[in-house]
Every structure is written in structure tokens, then in C-alpha cells.
Amino acid sequence: MLQWSQVHKTQLTTLSGRKTSTMEHLASEILANIERLGEHLMEHPLGLPDLDMVSDGSKMTVPNMLEVQMGIFPATSDILKVNEERTKSATREMFILAELIETEKAYVRDLREGIDTCMREMLTQEKKIPAGLNNMEHVIFGNLLELYEFHHEIFLKELEKHANVPEDVGHCFVKWAEKFQLYVDYCKNSDKSTRLIMEHTVNYSNKIQQKHGLAFSVESFLIKPIQRMTRYPLLLKNLLECCEDRKGVLKEALELTLSIPKRANDAIHFSMLEGFNESVESQRELLLKESFKMWDSKLPFCRGKNRHLFLLKKSLVVCKEVKDDKGMTKYIYKRKLNLAEMKLTEHLKGDPGKFVLGVGHTWMSSKGIVLKASTIQTKLDWIEHIQKLNKEHTIHLTGSLTEPISIP
């Protein structure tokens, strides 16, 4: 390398005898840079991934230091650094995916073990179980068998199909999105299940655990689906952060898993509603729930009443929140307002936290109500959702009116 650089340096000096000393200095600097690059490549040869970084598509070209300085190619150290980061990212992707699959296997094993022990004991040992638990298996275990069958027969196998492609694992969640409604139903039942177990199964649960040598109690077994439900968003979020390609389906999967706890929480609260004979499904989606101070629109200065409101796609359900003998919350149904007929007044003079909802031609209708939110942000959120729903109803109604009427 030294002999090669000396010969070319002599040739350049001969050819540039009439050049200024500045040009001679530049030539010397270029050759010195080339020599240093050559020595670096001798010690640290480029691998195939590095050569791919500097390929022009038709042939492989190795950059020299002048091209690096001019910005034509990245420096070798930068290439190696980028390649190292990509390798680390790819390794992390595979690690997270492996964790997702392995924890899924453990989850399925735990469900199976709990079904074969805890559930089987309650189904076959009728004479030995506490009196308060007779024929209450459907309350204690809910739809646990359906959850197990879904994960064992379908979801685990779907994840294993994508064991080598982290970017595509989101398809498993999106494809089977409807099945994750099982978790909403399970959580909806969990409140009743927990109360029943706490009242009747403390000693009985310990006996089952000791008899079968279980690492978990009945109570711990029944909470596993809820723990698994909250684990999916964490794993998908970590996977999304290190994946470079096809992020769209991962984002969709993350949004799905994040929505499950909210939907479950909404379902739990709505299940506490007494006197309302319609289901959440019949009213479409539950959007918001909140406690307000409420007045009659004709008497806004009288003493307000505490009311809990459920905002659904089609209606607004007004309830009274109470506690039962055991201190458990429940909601007593009072009235329902049809959103298609609802009028909204965003501001009420004298209190920035108030707004008015009415049904009919004017908000001063006898059915109108004045609401005061606990915070300004809560008020703004509800106004935004109600306005959006009103707009959707208007568009739907306008479309219906413009359709041709068939005359027999």
C-alpha cells in the first residue's frame, strides 16, 4: 500500500509541476486519505450487508475518502453503525415475537390446567362444594372454556405461523378481532364471579390448590385472562417501536388490544344499570359515561341532582347512581333522550361548566336538561361527541329523504 501511494504521488507531482503549492497539498491529502481507507479496509473488511449499503444497483463500488467528504457515500464507520443498529433492531423484533409466542403457550397451558382442576372439581364434586356454589359454575368461570378453545385451537397456531415475520403478526389480531369480544364478556362477568368466590370459596379454594399441587389458587387462575388482555398492548407497542416495515397492521392490532379494556369497563358499568331493558348492542356503541350535576332547563337555579349519564350512538341514558346493601354500585334508570331529536346549547351564562341538552323544537322544552361537568375538558369532550353524532344523524336523514319513493 505504501509503495502504491508513493508511485502515484510521484506521477501526480510530475504532472502538476506547474500547479501551485495548494494543489500539491490537496493531492497529498487525497492520497493520504486513500491510504488510510485502504488500511482500515484491510483491518475491517466490508461484509455483504455493508456492500449492499453502497451498491449502485448494477455493480458494487467501494467509496473513497474524497467521496465520503463530498457526501457521495457515507463513511465506513457510519455504514457499520447503521448496520449494527439494524441488526440490533431485527434481533429485538425476533426477541419480542418469541416472547409473545412463548407467553401465549404458557397462557394456554395455565388455562388448561385450571380447567382440568378447579373447574372439574366444581363440576364433579357437587356434594363437597359449598352450598352457595351449587350450580353457579357459569357465574364463577363465565366463558372461560370459549377463551381456552379460541387460544388453543386458533390464536396460538396463528401466532406460530408468523414466528419468523414480526411485521406480520398484527394480522393475527386483526383477522380474529371479533373473537376478542370474548374478553369483554369475561370481564363483564368477573365482578359477579369475584364476589361469589370471596363469599364462599376461601377454604374450598385452598383445598383444591393443595390437592392438585397448583402454583395458583382459584382466584389467581380466574384473573389470568384479564392479565393476558393487558399484556398484548405492551408487547405490540414494543414490537411497533422496532419494526421498520409494514407498521400499519401492527398499529391496527395495537388499537384493537387497547380498546378491549375500555370496552370491558363500559360493559361492566352498563351491566350495573337496572330498569333499562335495552342492551348496549341494540343502542350501538357506548361512547362516554360520566357523572354530572343536572337541572331541569326551566329551573336551572334550583338545587341540582347528581346523575350518571351513558352516551351511546343512538341515545343518551340518564341514571341515578346508588349503593346496595353490600356497598356495590348500581345505576337506576331514569330517562332516555333520542340523539336524533336532541338540541345542544354549548354555553350557559354565569357558569362555564354548564351546557344544555333539549329534545324538541327548542332547548326550553320541558324535556330539556342543564348539565354541569366536573371539569371544562369533560364538558368539551361531551359536546364534541354529541355534535358529531348529531351531524351523522343529519347526514343519514338527508340521505334517506333524497332517495326516490316508489309508488305502487
Burial degree of 74 (CB within 10 A; 0-12, 13-18, 19+): middle
Please choose, from the candidates 396, 395, 388, 368, the residue with its C-alpha nearest in 3D space to the C-alpha of residue 311: 388
Q: Given a cut of 90, is residue 155 above it in pLDDT?
A: yes
Backbone angles phi, psi at 335, to 5 degrees: -165, 165
The Cα–Cα gap between 340 and 399 comes to 14
Delimit the domains of the chain by residue range: 85-271, 278-402
Q: Given a cut of 70, is residue 293 above it in pLDDT?
A: yes
Which amino acid is residue 70, in one-letter code? Answer: M
Distance set, CA 386 to CA 233, 293, 312, 353, 398 (Å): 29, 18, 10, 16, 18
- pLDDT (0 to 100) of residue 381: 93
Angle at 144 between CA 139 and CA 149, to 5 degrees: 150
- pLDDT (0 to 100) of residue 52: 41
Contact indicator for 228, 218 with CB cutoff of 8 Å: no
Backbone angles phi, psi at 125, to 5 degrees: -105, 60
For residue 286, what is its C-alpha cell? 357506548
Long-range contacts: 64-73, Cβ < 8 Å, 24+? 64/33, 64/34, 64/37, 65/30, 65/33, 65/34, 65/36, 65/37, 66/30, 66/33, 66/34, 69/33
For residue 318, what is its C-alpha cell? 340518564
Q: Exposure pattern of 359-385 as b/e (b: 16+ CB <10 Å)? A: beeebebebbbbbbbeeeebbebbbee
Query: Can you give the pTM of this predicted structure?
Result: 0.66
- pLDDT (0 to 100) of residue 12: 44
Give the DSSP letter string of 129-140: S-GGGTT-HHHH
Q: Given a cut of 80, is residue 261 above it in pLDDT?
A: yes
Contact indicator for 309, 289 with CB cutoff of 8 Å: yes
Contact indicator for 373, 292 with CB cutoff of 8 Å: yes
| Domain 85-271, CATH among 1.10.10.10, 1.10.420.10, 1.10.275.10, 1.20.900.10 | 1.20.900.10
Q: Given a cut of 80, is residue 243 above it in pLDDT?
A: no
| Residue in this structure with the C-alpha cell 406460530, named with its chain if needed | 160
Instruction: Read off the pLDDT band of 202 (50, 70, 90).
Output: low
Q: Given a cut of 60, is residue 22 above it in pLDDT?
A: no
Sign of CA dihedral 56, 58, 62, 63: negative
Q: What is the pLDDT of residues 317-364, one digit of tens each?
A: 999 999 887 777 889 999 888 887 788 888 887 789 999 888 765 444
- pLDDT (0 to 100) of residue 138: 87
CATH 1.20.140.10 for domain 278-402, yes or no, is no
